[in-house]
Chain A
Amino acid sequence: MVEALNRNQVAWRVANDIDEGAFVNLGVGMPLNVLNYVPEGREIIFHSENGVLGMKPLEEGAEPNLDLINAGKQPISMLPGGAFFHHSDSFAMVRGGHIDVCVLGAYEVGQNGDLANWRLPNTKSAPAVGGAMDLAYGARQVYIMCDHNGRDGAPKIVKQCTLPLTGAKCVTKVFTDIAVIERADDGMVVREMAEGLEFEELQERTGAELRLANDWKTLTAPDIAPPEKRAR
């Protein structure tokens, strides 16, 4: 039995990978959840593309301020030491290499670090890229948070991306429900695997060629309830 993490546990795992003092941008959707799992006492400064450093989740019961939101348009509040700035400065921070880590979702991650996360085929909806491309090219580390396999079982980490790219060779680390995989110069290296998972099975569930690190660890997280299903 493979002990896969739920999405909140993956957010916890990502949060625990981020160093004290880091400047971090969280993509819209699952990655925003990382905010909720910063280890006690570790000071991390979160950047939001719409012009804020030092955001934190709105306290429960607090009155939301319509003019204080994150990139996902959710109300936020501020940590001491935070700042507001305009969009051009915000993306100067991104493009100029000042953001240590960004955490993004993915439709596909290629073996060479290519990322596709902005455009699905056969969708009625207008194309929308937001800040994903700027982050993919500008952030020093690009962390990906995704399910290892889609609902149909298809791997998200593939030999080569087939969807329109967000960024070429930009991904540095992938956090899934069953593994933590790092992109090294010589390919994809498995750093952590879920309890009960054999490397052969992980490779079968992955499109890209993997290598198991000599010092690999078991991927574990504390007991955290999975996210509630959102009504559609």
Chain B
Amino acid sequence: MIDKRVADLAAAVAGIEDGATVLVGGFGDAGVPNDLVQALVEQGAKELTLVGNGAISEVVGHGRLIAEGRVRKFIASFPKGRGSKLFEPGDASESVELEIVPQGTLAERIRAAGAGIPGFYTATAFGTPLAEGKPTMEFDGNQFVLERAIQADVALIKAKTADRWGNLAYTGTARNFNPIMAMAAKRTIAQVSEIIDPDPLDPEYIVTPGIFVERVVAVADDLREEGRQ
């Protein structure tokens, strides 16, 4: 019997190795798998390459991993929230290598990895500092920049509902990067509010099919920026 459910958060993040490239979903505080991130902090993996839209604070999510000194490099579009001191001179995170990527290019680089596409051309960033050093190509008289897919070892994502097959459904704008990150990693681990059983999710409403998911863990009172909800 296929059963992707794991008993707890520790089991969910077991086996993530030092030096791994880790995708972490979410935008703002919506759809960030804060509990999985906290479990990864406790698990101890370090020297990580972290990929995500940005850290909103040092308290939860991406910023938590960074503040704990587990991240060697952060690939992001908006690396930190307004109130945070991350990456500023004098902060412990100052030495983290930052790769700033336009948000849509970041999303497409992740999607491309999941779709088996090694790179793609986009007009975004042509003529700006973020295209420096990247190959360019002219198509039909317009200039485009070559962007490479971001292959990852692990994706930590969050959804609303799962079934034992690892199918996922989301809520509101908590979907954001999660479905494409699920596709782009060798191992995808999903934190969900609820796992329904024994009935499966309605196939018409599944956003992430279980083929992209290895483990699901249910966390009812999930950790948010403002505390447990």
CB pair A90 B224 closer than 8 Å:
no
Q: Which residues of B contact A129 (CB under 8 A)?
A: 77-78, 100-103, 130
Q: Judge if B170 is at the interface, Cβ distance under 8 Å.
A: yes
> Interface size of B by Cβ–Cβ distance < 8 Å?
49
Q: Give Cα A50–Cα B174 distance, bound, in whole angstroms.
A: 8
Can you give 8 A-B contacts (C-beta < 8 A)?
A66-B29, A66-B229, A67-B172, A124-B88, A124-B89, A129-B100, A134-B103, A165-B129
Beta-carbon nearest neighbor of A70 in chain B: B173
Instruction: Return A131 CB to nearest CB of chain B, in Å.
Output: 4
CB pair A87 B107 closer than 8 Å:
yes
Contacts known (A67-B173, A168-B128); A138 close to B104, Cβ less than 8 A: yes
Which of B12-20, B39-47, B118-126, B196-204 is the interface stretch?
B118-126
- B161-187 residues with Cβ-Cβ distance < 8 A to A are 170-180
State which of B80, B107, B171 has its C-beta within 8 Å of the C-beta of A67: B171
Give A residues with C-beta under 8 Å from B. Answer: 48-52, 65-70, 73, 84-88, 90-91, 94-95, 119, 124-134, 136-138, 164-168
Contacts known (A95-B122, A125-B88, A128-B54); A50 close to B77, Cβ less than 8 A: no
CB pair A88 B130 closer than 8 Å:
no
Instruction: Return B87 CB to nearest CB of chain A, in Å.
Output: 4
User: Helix, strand, loop or mixed for chain A's interface?
Assistant: loop
State which of B86, B89, B104 has its C-beta within 8 Å of the C-beta of A94: B104
Q: Which residues of A contact B80 (CB under 8 A)?
A: 125-126, 128
Q: Which residues of A contact B179 (CB under 8 A)?
A: 86, 88
